[in-house]
Structure 1
């Protein structure tokens, strides 16, 4: 019997060093859709090091995660402040949630209000989602950036 999506996700999340982006994409594609209501709350962010430039950038800005107050009220980028507190990164603006088809599946996506970025989410378990960032800010050759969120 094969591994579950959650087991495959955990193996990639716990891997040290660089992770194969194709394997992360396979886990994302296997994961089930989420609804906007399932994302309500504060989430801690984690990153897969696939060599994507966003992985390094998020480390530099001390990425903490995302806060979803409602489908129309999202802090898409929360960082750790000087004292370790979670603070909204104002320069990234706000966002909202929409159900969007990405990689053949309709699921919840977060659309930034002021930036050409869409983050699509899929269910790993009730308190963990895997995300895929599609952005016009990065060179097309960078491809999709994969990350994950764990509910606080």
Structure 2
């Protein structure tokens, strides 16, 4: 499996993604510093499609204590803003949000923040030590593995989640988009 197969938007078998993830090397926290563009990996997870509908752009890592886990593209697609994940429900039927997506982007603007909402730590997950983004107010750890120098595969580790949620981050040093 390679990055092209994962990022084509076609459904990928969850077990194959787990095997691919497990063969990748960990990264240290400083490797993650910077702006990253995010892409969902379609595995049939109930959340698949939701971040795209919300105009999810990616993540921003300033240092180990200053992390913005949800960077969103504004409705005009001209600037980025930070979303406070504290108010996002985790135990709902995600199809309700998907079916009412025309309201989603506007509603998310109400959840804007200027404050960092996560931090980075080195943790061991599935036998490998790697940089992990820990949300401040949610029981979520995003654990990263290195695909190449500018690409990581993330596994959203959420307690009592029936299936892993995977996403790709690609380093984004060239974007002209600024923050609101």
TM more than 0.5: yes
CA distance in 2, matches of 1:146, 1:99: 19
Whose Rg is larger? 2
Following superposition, the deviation at residue 16 of structure 1 comes to 4.2
- What's the RMSD between the two structures over aligned residues? 1.5
Partner of 2:15: 22
Query: Per the alignment, do residues 115 and 16 of structure 1 end up closer, same or farther by CA in structure 2, a change over 3 Å counting?
Result: closer
Q: Which runs of 5+ in 2 are unaligned?
A: 87-115, 173-180
The total of aligned residue pairs comes to 142
Partner residue of 2:53 out of 60, 63, 69:
60
1:119-130 matches, cutoff 5 A: 119-130=142-153
Cα deviation code 1:29-57 (max 9, x no counterpart): 11111000000000000111100122222
Q: Name the residue aligned to 2:40.
A: 47
Residue 144 of structure 1 is aligned with which of 146, 152, 164? 164
Q: Check 1:100–1:21 CA distance in 2 against 1; reply closer, same or farther (3 A cut).
A: same
Give the whole-Å Cα distance in 2 for the aligned partners of 1:108 and 1:50. Answer: 23
Scaled by the length of structure 1, the TM-score of the pair is 0.87
Q: Is the 8 A contact 1:40 1:70 kept in 2?
A: yes
With the length of structure 2 as denominator, give the TM-score of the two structures: 0.74
| Secondary structure of residue in 2 paired with 1:83 | coil
Query: C-alpha distance in 2, partners of 1:83/1:24?
Result: 34
Describe the SS at the equivalent of 2:49.
helix
Corresponding position of 1:94: 117
Write the distance in 2 (CA, Å) between the matches of 1:133 and 1:14: 17
CA contact (8 A) 1:25 1:146 kept: no
Residue 38 (structure 1) aligned to one of 31, 36, 46: 31
Equivalent pair of 2:7/2:41 in contact (CA under 8 Å): no
State the Cα distance separating 1:95 from its structure 2 match.
0.2
Where do 4+ consecutive residues of structure 1 move more than 3 Å? none
